[in-house]
Amino acid sequence: MKVLIRAARIVDAQSPLNGHVRDVLIENGLIRQIGESLTVEESDGPIQLIERDGLCISPGWVDMRVSAKDPGYEQKEDLSTVCRAAMLGGFTDIAVLPNTKPALDSKDTLGYIRQAAQGHAVNVHPIAAITKRTEGQDFTDMIDLHHAGAVAFSDGELPLTHPDLLLKTLQYLRPFNGLLMNRPEEQNLTHFGQMNEGLSSTLLGLKGMPAMAEEMMIERDLRLLEYTYPGATGRSVGTVLHFSTISTARSVELIRQAKAQGLPVSCDIAAHQLAFTDSALMGFDTNLKVNPPFRLPADVEALKQGLADGTIDAIVSDHNPQDDESKNIEFDHAEFGIIGLETAFALVRTHFPELPLEDLIDKWTNRPREILRLPALTIGENQPATLTLFDPEVEWTYERTASRSKNSPFFGKTLRGKALGIINKGFVDHL
């Protein structure tokens, strides 16, 4: 069946058609024709028409940080529900964390992910564990995992605490140009922490998680990166070390300086970090308990500046489903995390509308693909039809989710900008 997208604005910095309104004809998974007022004969077979006011299209979006919970925690999420949530959020590709049970630390578990994701419109890319069971002790066989399809290596929700582990991982990945992703947190400083350390945590009587814990880890990792790659630049070797979900002004500045020195480093932020500061936790809403925690207004402004000047390469949902038993309890005992696949795009459009749309889409398309070594995509004739459909201006209310879990502070909130669906692998899923 053919698909005709009528009068859509193309948002793709890599395409000469960027910013133009065009019809797009898709057949057999390829973009066959792009033009104005295209006509298709019904005698050529059935045609699916996609047409609506405000429609935009871009290459398929990539979410670099998703906790799928499958295998092992299917009561919170499974690969079918996470793929459905990703589609509703506009993502054709998601990279899933290794913190499952069993962990993604062997060819067998990576094979399970590939098999379970078959038949879904969303591409699921496993991030393999650096250490067995993500316990931070014994190394996995990263070369085998690389050949088995791992797009990157990380202990996911758990940072590499020991500097020797990070140094040896950088050295081990170098021969095959592997990517190390680390969440910067010095856990010896955040033990039993519940939220950002500051005035709000003092007023609430909650143990704080100091910004210094994140910043010290970034400083350490950058020193080890420079030691491992003396004289190398990101332009010559690509990204080698990626920091996941940074949250403080000092973190942004450290990475900005490292990039200016040419170090092969990149970073992302979670979309929800733009929506709240730590003062929002005064009501003890466990849906606002996230890690890294919501910080100060100055930190949020620094994140926005980092997005605007390119210091921050990508935006992630940091989708982390938690069931009622993990969230509907006392704040001290509640698990960290919120679901975010369906709201990530809207949160940025709502809370940082000054960011040019082309720059925002680049942080979900070109940059994540470059960092993860995924094939580049662009909108052009005879190119793969891997597309995201969206309306950047429409206002809507978040009322329900495809996720198994409901841990979101955004239910009932009116947001700006909405993903309308995806086209990928011959699937056409749209609202």
- Does the annotation mark 318 as catalytic? yes
Residue 388 has pLDDT above 90, yes or no: yes
Phi/psi of residue 418, nearest 5 degrees: -145, 135
- Give the pair of three-digit tokens for residue 156: 């996911």
Query: What is the C-alpha to C-alpha distance for residues 339 and 81, in angstroms, rounded to an integer?
Result: 12
Given the residues 93, 105, 318, 429, the one annotated as active site: 318
Q: What secondary structure does DSSP assign to 339-408, as a single string?
A: --TTTHHHHHHHH-TTS-HHHHHHTTTHHHHHHHTPPP---STTSB--EEEEEEEEEEE----SSS----
Residue 37 has pLDDT above 70, yes or no: yes
Strand 21-27 versus strand 30-35 pairing type: antiparallel
- pLDDT, tens only, 421-431: 999 999 998 76
Q: CB–CB of 113/139 below 8 Å?
A: no
Q: Is residue 41 very low, low, confident or very high in pLDDT (cuts 50, 70, 90)?
A: confident
Predicted confidence at residue 233, as pLDDT, reads: 64
| pTM for this model (two decimals) | 0.96
Predicted confidence at residue 236, as pLDDT, reads: 66
- Residue (of 276, 350, 265) closest to 312 by Cα position: 265
What are the structural domains, with CATH classification, of the chain?
2-56+381-393+414-430 (2.30.40.10), 60-372 (3.20.20.140)
Where are the alpha helices (H) located in 198-323, listed in sequence order? 199-204, 211-228, 234-237, 249-260, 297-309
Q: Is residue 39 very low, low, confident or very high in pLDDT (cuts 50, 70, 90)?
A: confident
Query: What is the C-alpha to C-alpha distance for residues 54 and 251, in angstroms, rounded to an integer?
Result: 37
Q: CB–CB of 129/103 below 8 Å?
A: yes
- pLDDT, tens only, 309-358: 999 999 999 999 999 999 999 999 999 999 999 999 999 999 999 999 99
Q: Which residues pair with 423 in a beta bridge?
A: 387, 428
Query: What is the C-alpha to C-alpha distance for residues 87 and 83, in angstroms, rounded to an integer?
Result: 6
Number of Cβ within 10 Å of residue 286's Cβ equals: 22
Residue 79 has pLDDT above 90, yes or no: yes
What contacts 24+ positions apart, CB below 8 Å, involve 363-367?
363/307, 363/312, 363/313, 363/314, 363/315, 364/61, 364/62, 364/63, 364/91, 364/314, 364/315, 365/12, 365/58, 365/59, 365/60, 365/61, 365/62, 366/13, 366/14, 366/59, 367/266, 367/313, 367/314
Predicted confidence at residue 40, as pLDDT, reads: 82
Burial class of residue 38 (count of CB atoms within 10 Å of its CB; 0-12, 13-18, 19+):
middle
- Residue (of 308, 311, 197) closest to 254 by Cα position: 311
Query: What is the C-alpha to C-alpha distance for residues 226 and 188, in angstroms, rounded to an integer?
Result: 24
Predicted confidence at residue 429, as pLDDT, reads: 85
> What is the phi-psi region of residue 420: left when phi exceeds 0, alpha when psi lies from -120 to 50, beta otherwise?
alpha
Q: Is residue 43 very low, low, confident or very high in pLDDT (cuts 50, 70, 90)?
A: low
- Residue (of 95, 60, 373) closest to 239 by Cα position: 373
Predicted confidence at residue 51, as pLDDT, reads: 95
- pLDDT, tens only, 163-200: 999 999 999 999 999 999 999 999 999 999 999 999 99
Instruction: Give the chain's mean pLDDT.
Output: 96
- pLDDT, tens only, 102-155: 999 999 999 999 999 999 999 999 999 999 999 999 999 999 999 999 999 999
